[in-house]
Amino acid sequence: MTRKTKTIAVSAMAGTLLLVLLAGTAAAQGGIPWRGFGGWGHGMMGGGMMYPGWSGNCTGGAFSPAQCPAWGDAVPGGTRLTMGDAEAIAAQYLANYGNDDLQVAEIMQFSQNFYVEVHEASTGIGAMELLIDPYTGAVHPEPGPNMMWNTKYGHMNGMGMMGGRYLGSSGAMRISGDQAVNLAQKWLDAHMSGVMAGDEAEAFYGYYTIHTMTDGAISGMLSVNGYTGQVWYHSWHGDFIDMTGGDEAV
Q: Tell me the per-residue pLDDT of 135-183, one tens digit each, with 9 for 90 and over.
A: 999 999 999 999 999 999 987 654 544 344 454 455 799 999 999 999 9
Residue 222 neighbours by CB under 8 Å, 6+ apart:
184, 187, 188, 197, 209, 210, 212, 231, 232, 233, 234
pLDDT category of residue 13 using cuts at 50, 70 and 90: low
Q: Tell me the per-residue pLDDT of 27-51, one tens digit each, with 9 for 90 and over.
A: 333 322 222 333 222 222 333 333 3
Across 158-180, b (16+ Cβ under 10 Å) vs e yields bbbeeeeebeebeeebebebebb
Domain ranges for the chain: 37-49+73-244
Indicate whether 56 pLDDT > 50: no
Q: Tell me the per-residue pLDDT of 122-137, one tens digit each, with 9 for 90 and over.
A: 999 999 999 999 999 9
pTM, whole model, 2 decimals?
Answer: 0.69
* Rg over CA atoms, the chain: 19
